[in-house]
A = this chain, B = another copy of it.
Amino acid sequence: MTLRFAILGAGRIGQVHARAVAGTPGARLVAIADPVAAAAESVKVAYGCEIRTIDAILGSADVDAVVICTPTDTHADLIEKFTKAGKAVFCEKPVDLSVARVKACLKVVEANRGRVMVGFNRRFDPDFMSVKAAIDAGTVGDVEMITITSRDPGAPPADYITRSGGIFRDMTIHDFDMARWLLGEEVETVMAAASVLTDPKIGALGDFDSVNVILRTASGKQAIITNTRRATYGYDQRIEVLGSKGMAQAENQSENRVVIADKSGFHSAPLLNFFMTRYIAAYANEIAAFVAAVKDGTPTPTTIHDGLMALALADAALKSVAEGRAVKLAEVL
């Protein structure tokens, strides 16, 4: 059996998923939808699929699953519609910027026994999977402290920031999910500090560009997350897990493995600079995991609940910054 896909949205991330679907054995890209004709056309040409409207896809008997890559404010509605139509759904994060809306969506999905996976691609990065495997194998012992360093090479455009819900909901949300996944225990309290250091325009939009967060679980496990919108040396994505027996670290990925030595010392390449390059394997693995779960009838590895929890952590962080205190996750859920 081949899982037949349609992709809703042919923007940057839609194209990433189109490529992933096309390259996944047992999956086939049937249709692409996008109001921008040129965007849809480029996916059609590249992967040989049809262009259809979202409504047409909703009624397409030859589509088993959809990948939602439309603007965030349409995600929850589309999840509900396609779940009701019996399609398996893969939705890019976030489900919505409102915890209440995500909760409502989750209820609809549950009522319809829908199958929805939320796109936390980093869980499928081979290096981060190795870290998780080391934890699960007991190699690091009991997890105690996690350090997540996550720095973008540059800030997104102003109009993206405006719609993004702010750095915690747009950028840190990946790290919140990573922390939950690796801690193996839900976070109880959140402390965060936030600054505007790289560009005053970001502050003018009401957002931050430099944040640090401390997460703490009920049993005392802790995670720290450090984010910035500007790392001149590339897309800095590191994870470090300290446990009772040792530590597991996932190091960065560089553009190449060449070292140049000269009078001034040793020089190596900057980091892979863009999420689509850095996480190319993660995106492929993510779609493959979705396909496998749908085919096997097993739970998807990430769910709307995961999206909800990560969003709540973002809300708690924002509240912590605003009120200068440790915020319990329960306060925002």
A interface residues with partner B (beta carbon < 8 Å): 126-127, 130-131, 134, 139-140, 142, 144-145, 147, 149, 151, 189, 191-193, 195-198, 210, 212, 214, 216, 220-222, 224, 226, 228, 230-233, 242, 244-254, 256-270, 324-326
CA distance A224 to B215 in the complex (A): 13
Asked whether, in the complex, the Cβ of A130 is within 8 Å of the Cβ of B258, the reply is yes
Q: Shortest Cβ distance from A152 into chain B, in angstroms?
A: 12
Rounded to whole angstroms, the CA-CA distance of A248 and B260 in the bound complex is 4
Chain B residue numbers with a CB within 8 Å of A261 are: 231-233, 246-249, 270
Complex CA distance for A127 and B191, rounded to whole angstroms: 31
A328: nearest chain-B partner, CB-CB: B324
Contacting pair B145 A226 (CB below 8 A): yes
- A151 to B243: give the CA distance in the assembly, Å: 12
User: From residue A287, how far is it (CB to closest CB) to chain B in Å?
Assistant: 17
A260/B139 contact (C-beta < 8 A), A191-B191, A246-B232, A268-B266 known? yes
**Chain B residues within an 8 Å CB radius of A222:** 193, 195, 210, 212
Contact of A267 among B228, B230, B231, B267 (CB under 8 A): B267
Do A270 and B260 contact each other (CB < 8 Å), given the known contacts A191-B214, A220-B197, A226-B147? Answer: no
Contact of A249 (CB < 8 Å), options: B126, B259, B263, B264: B259
Give the residue name and chain of the B residue nearest to A263 (CB): B232
Is B224 a contact partner of A196 (Cβ separation < 8 A)?
no
The answer to whether B191 and A260 have CB atoms under 8 Å apart is: no
CA–CA, A196 and B221, complex, Å? 9
The answer to whether A256 and B130 have CB atoms under 8 Å apart is: yes
Task: Known contacts A212-B224, A242-B151, A250-B258; decide if A233 and B324 are in contact (CB<8 Å).
Answer: no
- Among B191, B210, B248, B252, the residue within 8 A (CB) of A145 is B210
A250–B261 Cα gap in the complex (Å)?
11
Contact of A144 among B142, B228, B265 (CB under 8 A): B228
21 pairs of residues in contact across A and B, judged by CB atoms under 8 Å: A131-B258, A134-B260, A144-B198, A144-B210, A145-B210, A191-B191, A195-B222, A224-B224, A231-B242, A231-B261, A233-B247, A233-B262, A233-B263, A247-B262, A250-B257, A250-B258, A266-B267, A266-B269, A324-B326, A325-B325, A325-B326
Contact B257 A127 (CB under 8 A): yes
Listed residue (A126, A192, A247, A250) with the most chain B CB atoms within 10 angstroms of its CB: A247
Bound-state Cα–Cα, A198 to B270, Å: 31
Instruction: Tell whether A263 pairs with B251 under 8 Å between CB atoms, given A127-B258, A195-B220, A222-B195.
Output: no
